[in-house]
Structure 1
């Protein structure tokens, strides 16, 4: 290595007279077969910056030089005290030895920079060991796979004999893949792709609410690629469990959980009334995600009150807001003070709606427009040609008419009525089923009171 090092130092000095002190390291691979000497001829002053590095791979027993390699952009593996740290050898480090093609030989990955869209994510050149020459040969397929991996380097699963890769694009799209090397080529064995579906915009021929994900899985079976897609959701957030007082004196317990664009919950007046929980439901508003608005619903579907609460920014991070009566000619408004409560919540309350509980009669009474409406829903026993469940329903808006439709369901809790079935005046709409409710919404707020949008409470 001495002549190699000398020539590197000489050329570096001629090109740039003022350089930092060269730094050299050495490390054995985990099998103990190879010794790698690493030289940074002109290391950067900032150890977080990348620099050109030269590698000499030796037989650890005979010290015979097997190969010399280099990278234009490697990380200098030192800590603040100039000591070699853990970033010299490993899957996120300067060097990474492993058996990438599962042939029993140690292969090698060398860092060659950062991902262009993620400055702290490394990229690698991946070399496979040639069994005839004990040399490492750059493999374009594995190098490309490493560049696509969001962690900077794919994972190796020796028990399964597969390579695992994860690719994320912003927070809306991700794909997990399983690969196997056959010769010098990569073969895709399995993929699982998740894409968060954005809510429909006005004018679109559908009405997709927020919180749903399109999952596409593919698998190689007997030499043929098989792929299928399904809609999943809505995404359920962790429930928020609270306790406190109403008007400074009435004890209450309240919980809520966001399920996509819908928020479900319950409130219980612990020392007044019959002590039974009262159903709550709200629609998440994008304009003010910090403010939670939940309506109380009596058993007959009437709205009895509205809770508007938000969490304070400072300790003890209480929830404050107001409760307002929704009863006609009742102007009561009380202050709300709540805090996080550690208590068990019945898991059945926040589960997805049971399949056998979806069909039935739902009603909406005296909504914000003073409308009454009824929804009769039946999930048919037979599926359509695409394997989807089929919903048959009737919506009757008092004094304004009735709509009847039979449409395939998007998933077990979502129905979408598209054009031309949807009323031309209001456009496409959806019905989202949650525990005890059916929520009808549009991809644009209808301008007239003839629309069907609203919260329908399950009656039977």
Structure 2
């Protein structure tokens, strides 16, 4: 039987579903220079299982046998009904022809098992063609590179003359690399590694909020490997834009965006007041079963109310919840009913804080612990020996407690105060700058009234 799968001419000896008989396939490479006969002496009953296979490579024009190869763990390229599928020739299949070292000759990769940590990810033996003998020689460097790739096989970029590999580990680490063959050896040209930094646990000598990534890039220049690391973040989700009513009668527009550990937003009463938006801020760690709490802040930095909303899981997927007054003596709780709204949001509202807007005076008034505090922050003009910006700040609580520090910034919106500067029972803390706010947080939220943690509204 002969068939055409993915533009590749196939011939196969098909047998009845009884799988005790050997199975034979034949395929031409895309250049039509070579024909490979594949024989599975004992094909498994389940085509998803791997089995030993033997390969005979022939000159497609003369039918001359050029070489014989084998693999102990190749995939049988048929579906459960015994029909030939597309898993015979290609970068994720049993066979893969390409010019891996860019010398103008077809090289060959043969599947040889699966990745040890991902059974659905193939592993390959990679062979380079010896043009003098028209045979293929196993290349350990390329075989190892294929094993490291999360897809099972690296990519080939003929325009650039480079090999591209992507390695992922769990949810929080990935590396993209560019390679070039020089003789039989691989040379690393470029790498970019991203590692999501986990929030700091209590007791550690730092205070890292969630949502940040450390990116390390390296490049080969003039024969020297140069590497640079930087912190990026916080990671931002798409903004949620809503409209609806408060207490069933007051029209409102509300939006929010998750930025790492912090949620920023605004609410505007469209038919009441002066129409100016009220700033909102919440914390992702406070979310419970998709319930989001957004605290609203008056111009003086005091907290005036809390919007507690969650999305319903049936159409039309409304956001419902409660607005709760945070003003002393005011016990109002009003129903919230919102829906998705198609309107444009000014991107300046969710951009990173402008460099020239970070310095200034920030204020917190009458929070849940009845604390008043002021933060005066100045980003100094000179950088430290490592090229980092330097922040000088003073935090003053109403009872007279004052903290003054000069520390390098981790990135343009994050300051971390470590021990011994942060000595005391509250321990290390951080200051995260977002649009209109400075948020101070500890490894573990302190309950003491002399703690600095809280939301400080930008005043000037």
Residue in structure 1 matched with residue 90 of structure 2 by the alignment: 90
In 2, distance between residues paired with 1:328 and 1:19?
79
Q: Is the 8 A contact 1:207 1:417 kept in 2?
A: yes
**Partner deviation per Cα, 1:300-335 (whole Å, 9 max, x = no partner):** 111111011111222222212110011110000011
1:22 Cα offset (Å): 2.1
In 2, distance between residues paired with 1:286 and 1:48?
45
Q: Is the 8 A contact 1:298 1:304 kept in 2?
A: yes
Q: Is the 8 A contact 2:205 2:418 kept in 1?
A: yes
Residue in structure 2 matched with residue 294 of structure 1 by the alignment: 294
SS in structure 2 of the partner of residue 288 of structure 1: coil
Residue in structure 1 matched with residue 144 of structure 2 by the alignment: 144
In 2, distance between residues paired with 1:102 and 1:89?
20
In 2, distance between residues paired with 1:289 and 1:163?
44
Give yes or no for the alignment of 1:45 onto 2:57. Answer: no
Residue in structure 2 matched with residue 57 of structure 1 by the alignment: 57
Q: Is the 8 A contact 1:77 1:86 kept in 2?
A: yes
1:223 Cα offset (Å): 1.3
1:151 Cα offset (Å): 0.6
Q: Is the 8 A contact 2:109 2:125 kept in 1?
A: yes
Residue in structure 1 matched with residue 174 of structure 2 by the alignment: 174
**Partner deviation per Cα, 1:134-180 (whole Å, 9 max, x = no partner):** 11111111001000000110000111111000000001000000111
Residue in structure 1 matched with residue 3 of structure 2 by the alignment: none
Q: Is the 8 A contact 2:157 2:164 kept in 1?
A: yes
1:82 Cα offset (Å): 2.9
1:65 Cα offset (Å): 0.5
In 2, distance between residues paired with 1:286 and 1:454?
14
1:197 Cα offset (Å): 0.6
In 1, distance between residues paired with 2:291 and 2:266?
17
Residue in structure 2 matched with residue 27 of structure 1 by the alignment: 27
TM-score using structure 2 length: 0.94
> What are the equivalent positions in structure 2 for 1:3-402 lying under 5 Å apart?
19-285=19-285, 288=288, 290-402=290-402
In 2, distance between residues paired with 1:50 and 1:320?
52
In 2, distance between residues paired with 1:221 and 1:276?
53
1:255 Cα offset (Å): 0.8
After TM superposition, the runs of 4+ consecutive aligned structure 1 residues lying more than 4 A away are none
**Partner deviation per Cα, 1:417-456 (whole Å, 9 max, x = no partner):** 1111114121110000000000000011213110000000
Stretch deviating more after TM superposition (225-234 or 270-279): 270-279
SS in structure 1 of the partner of residue 446 of structure 2: coil
Residue in structure 1 matched with residue 405 of structure 2 by the alignment: 405
Residue in structure 2 matched with residue 8 of structure 1 by the alignment: none
Consecutive unaligned residues of structure 2, counting only runs of 5 or more, are: 1-17
In 1, distance between residues paired with 2:253 and 2:89?
54
Residue in structure 1 matched with residue 445 of structure 2 by the alignment: 445
Q: Give the root-mean-square deviation of aligned CA atoms.
A: 1.2
TM-score using structure 1 length: 0.94
Q: Is the 8 A contact 1:400 1:450 kept in 2?
A: no
In 2, distance between residues paired with 1:255 and 1:337?
13
SS in structure 1 of the partner of residue 290 of structure 2: coil
**Partner deviation per Cα, 1:42-88 (whole Å, 9 max, x = no partner):** 21222222111111100000000001111111111123443322211
In 2, distance between residues paired with 1:388 and 1:400?
31
In 2, distance between residues paired with 1:286 and 1:272?
30
**Partner deviation per Cα, 1:68-119 (whole Å, 9 max, x = no partner):** 1111111111234433222111101110000001111000000111111111
How many matched pairs? 443
In 2, distance between residues paired with 1:315 and 1:122?
41
